[in-house]
Structure 1
Amino acid sequence: MIPNECSLPDGPAADGRTDHARLLQLRWMSVLVMALIALLALPLLAPAQPVRPLLAITLLLAAFNLALHAGVAGRLPARGGALLQLSVDLVAWAAFLYFGGGVTNPAISLLLPIVAVGAAVLPAARAWALAALAVAIYSALWHYHEPVRLADADLAMHLHLAGMWLSFAFSAVTVVWFVSRMNAALRQRERDLAATRAERARDAYVVGLGKLAAGAAHRLGTPLGTLRILVDELGRRRDIPADGREDLALMREQIEHCKAILNSLTREAGQQRAEGGGTVAACDWLEAVVERWRSLRPRAQAVLACGDDVRTARLVADASLGEALHNLIDNAANAGIAAGRAGEAVEVTAARGVEGLVVEVADRGAGIPEDVLAVVRRGPLEARPAGMGVGLFLAHAAIEHHGGALAFRPRPGGGTIARFSLALQDDTR
């Protein structure tokens, strides 16, 4: 009774987007109704009525559905496949009703759900063609059919009305069930499309930031070189006190770090995640990221604890993933300073979990409001011109790009724990 293919109307790829399971179930309902009529209703009400033709049609429709289960639906034409299957359902019911009393059979109303489903899933022209076929079948059954001779003629009208009620109820339930499920699928698709658009917008923003970073790296080279010359000239002066020389040495070190970062931007820009090979030891990678952060923040503290089960673990990590961890550590250190607990070290721990490598970055800051966490996944915070929330935003994007997820939870005793997981590679060494 119901087609095997459900597609969105009016679209080049509409007929290919189907929910086969739901529509196959509906056709099995048609087979069930036919079997009940042929094996129970007619033998009970009209014992002399031959049921072999009815059973043959029922079996043919069941075989058609089994063929669709076996994958025949994929061989149907991309355009018109739904109309073809709907037409098969109409013809099957037409043949069944021909041997079952034609328009005098209350099951004649079961043609209507097929037309209703066609109106919901087919383009307008094909829906009208299906409706025309249904009207033609109804008209033909008006004149051409095998009559049903009931055993008790006195109950004929009562039984006919009861059958009409059952057919109407079944049609109403079928249409509501199908349309409601289809609407739910459409709403889910709209939510998925909205999420996809949001991800694309975020990716476009990340690409834009990458272009800006490349331009900034090119433009910042000159002022950094000038600063290095000035620091060297100040270092040669004899009137600089000892503590001043220490500060100059620190400034020179930081300038060198900045130059190294800018020089690596071009090399690392556009670096893609390797899908085969290129793995690194998880602990070595974590130690390198933490050590690089320490070199940039010598007055802040960070401690790393790698579990014994992580020592042999390996993972694929590109530059963006290292920057994500770097940003999380940096934000944790800034949170502790803002809360007046600058002496507290940022704690970075790594362990194996069900999802792979689990890394946690814990601070003693004031915590992150939930509304901020919800917004920063989609883009930097507009109300924070100083930090702009770019670090957390890029961390979310990089970790999710590697198949992980970044989450935050309160830390007992105060602070926040940032937690993310990464897939591990099998260590074949």
Structure 2
Amino acid sequence: MNALNINKLELILTFSRYLGWGFRLILSYALSDWFGLTHQSSILMYLFIIELGYLLISHRKINQLKEFGSQHLYLLLIDNSFWLAWLYLTGGASNAFISFLLVPIAISSITMSPGKSWLFSGMNCIAYSVMLYFDPHMKHMAQMGMSSHYIGMWLNFILSVVVLNTGLVLFSRKLKQRDSQVSAMREAQLKQEQLVALGASSAQMAHQLATPLCTMRLWLDELKQSPSEQALEELGNNLSRCESSLQELRLATDAIRDGKKRQVAVNNLLYDAKKKAQLLLPQCLIDWQINENNSSVLNIDHGILPALLTLIDNAGKASKAAMLQAKLEISTQHNQKDECQILIRDFGSGIDESLRPYLGKQFVQSEKGLGVALMLTHASLERNLGSLSLSQHPTQGCIATITLPTISNTKDSNHE
């Protein structure tokens, strides 16, 4: 049983024990004449006092137990013994509430192993039989022709125990099998998600490394023909970009492997992206509209920053292809759900309307490639409960909108 089910059963057991004690107390001293209960007041009062002390002592013990086992069986046996003692002192087999013995039997069927459950049920059946056989009122009932009625009640109790115990044991076994299957499926799914995340992060970093590697190849060819300070400087800058990408890949791999996420303020994420974008697109004019009063915090992994840089890189290339001086606008806002949105606007030629529904969801053949970068970005955002949408700007270019839940929204979703 998982921790949630154990906590629920502990609450039910604790509440039902005190409820049963109070119910029997009321029956014994307020409703005994109505239900025909006979008892010896002095002995019964001592029994209630001892049981109350036992409940108070064992209450803490139940909450400390982490799983159902032999200790719970002992507590249930003691509880059941108090019920049997009360039944014996208030009429025995003639007590109208003797069928309440089915309640602890049901609890044992759900929480205990089949062997212990059948042992517990057998003990209650024997106790009922002994009370029926030694009941001093049975001779009087026989004279009134009521003995067959109590024997029928006893037989009905035995059959009810067999049916109830068998059904609940089988039902509990099925639930345990289902829980184990669900747990195995969850572990398998987690491994698959980790592999997909690692593959997406690796491919994303490889995509980022492609541009500086191609650039270094060109500058190396330039150096072979005529060495220059500019070529060496450009090689150094591109090497720094490669080192940064590899460092991000290592951090992302460690985080995905350990299943860890980090809490990052939106402004800090944008500042990190700004520093890396200066290396990624040094010739691009980027207008960073960062709201200093934005206190939103995100719970994300290390794959979000590479995804953001990929979108910035694509936007920069689109702007550069349409104008001499490439420029971008990056801003933030909140939607109606109080989710954080990061907007990246380029000044390119926009997106082909026929391709927009498929971008980020499948490979799309176009003059600029296959849309692999957008697919990887989309996968990284989905892993962090985020989304990506592309839309045309009314005047020129395209707007890529990244939507991510904030810490408060994530807690509300988990609570629901």
TM-score, normalization by structure 1: 0.59
Amino acid at match of 1:293: A
Contact 2:68 2:111 in 1 (8 A): no
Q: Secondary structure of 2:372's match?
A: coil
Pick one of 112, 116, 135 that aligns with 2:125. 135
Equivalent position of 2:401 in the other structure: 417
Equivalent position of 1:361 in the other structure: 343
Q: What is the CA distance between 1:232 and its match in structure 2? A: 3.9
CA distance 1:19–1:287, change in 2 (3 Å): same
Alignment pair present for 1:261 and 2:241: yes
What does 1:266-285 correspond to in 2, within 5 Å? 266-271=246-251, 283=267, 285=269
Deviations 1:69-125 (A, max 9, x none): 435542698631332233223212211111122222232222223223322222222
Amino acid at match of 1:261: R
Equivalent position of 2:372 in the other structure: 387
CA distance 1:72–1:207, change in 2 (3 Å): same
Amino acid at match of 1:322: L
- Partners of 2:138 and 2:391 lie apart in 1 by 78
Pick one of 279, 290, 302 that aligns with 1:306. 290
Equivalent position of 2:197 in the other structure: 206
Equivalent position of 1:50 in the other structure: 40
Equivalent position of 2:109 in the other structure: 119
Pick one of 205, 228, 244 that aligns with 2:219. 228
Contact 2:263 2:298 in 1 (8 A): yes
Pick one of 30, 34, 39 that aligns with 2:24. 34
- Partners of 1:301 and 1:192 lie apart in 2 by 51
CA distance 1:306–1:38, change in 2 (3 Å): same
CA distance 1:187–1:212, change in 2 (3 Å): same
Percentage identity across paired residues of the two chains:
13
- Partners of 1:287 and 1:299 lie apart in 2 by 18
Contact 2:342 2:402 in 1 (8 A): yes
Contact 2:38 2:89 in 1 (8 A): no
CA distance 1:317–1:44, change in 2 (3 Å): closer
- Partners of 2:32 and 2:138 lie apart in 1 by 9
Equivalent position of 2:412 in the other structure: none
Amino acid at match of 1:100: T
Contact 2:319 2:327 in 1 (8 A): yes
Amino acid at match of 1:228: W
CA distance 1:267–1:104, change in 2 (3 Å): same
CA distance 1:195–1:136, change in 2 (3 Å): same
CA distance 1:82–1:407, change in 2 (3 Å): farther
Contact 2:287 2:328 in 1 (8 A): yes
Deviations 1:348-373 (A, max 9, x none): 2168x999x9452356866986x999
Q: Which runs of 5+ in 1 are unaligned?
A: 1-6, 238-248, 338-342, 425-429
Amino acid at match of 1:391: T
Superposition CA RMSD, Å: 6.1
Amino acid at match of 1:419: T
Alignment pair present for 1:349 and 2:332: yes
Deviations 1:42-87 (A, max 9, x none): 1334476435544554555554444454355426986313322332
CA distance 1:217–1:82, change in 2 (3 Å): same
- Partners of 1:74 and 1:391 lie apart in 2 by 47
Q: Which runs of 5+ in 2 are unaligned?
A: 256-261, 321-325, 409-416
Contact 1:406 1:418 in 2 (8 A): yes
Deviations 1:148-182 (A, max 9, x none): 999xx99x99x999x99xx9xxx9xx9999x9999
Deviations 1:321-378 (A, max 9, x none): 42243245457779999xxxxx995542168x999x9452356866986x999xx7xx
CA distance 1:393–1:235, change in 2 (3 Å): farther
Q: What is the CA distance between 1:289 and its match in structure 2? A: 0.8
Range moving further from structure 2, 191-200 or 23-32: 191-200
- Partners of 2:250 and 2:316 lie apart in 1 by 28
CA distance 1:76–1:302, change in 2 (3 Å): closer
Amino acid at match of 1:305: Q
Pick one of 59, 71, 85 that aligns with 2:75. 85
Amino acid at match of 1:390: L
- Partners of 2:59 and 2:356 lie apart in 1 by 51
Contact 1:350 1:358 in 2 (8 A): yes
Q: Secondary structure of 1:394's match?
A: helix
Q: Secondary structure of 1:309's match?
A: coil
Q: Secondary structure of 2:24's match?
A: helix
Q: What is the CA distance between 1:128 and its match in structure 2? A: 2.2
- Partners of 1:56 and 1:67 lie apart in 2 by 17
Q: What is the CA distance between 1:130 and its match in structure 2? A: 1.7
CA distance 1:420–1:148, change in 2 (3 Å): farther
CA distance 1:232–1:103, change in 2 (3 Å): same
Q: Secondary structure of 2:31's match?
A: helix
CA distance 1:109–1:193, change in 2 (3 Å): same
- Partners of 2:171 and 2:314 lie apart in 1 by 47
- Partners of 1:82 and 1:47 lie apart in 2 by 31
TM-score, normalization by structure 2: 0.61
CA distance 1:320–1:189, change in 2 (3 Å): same
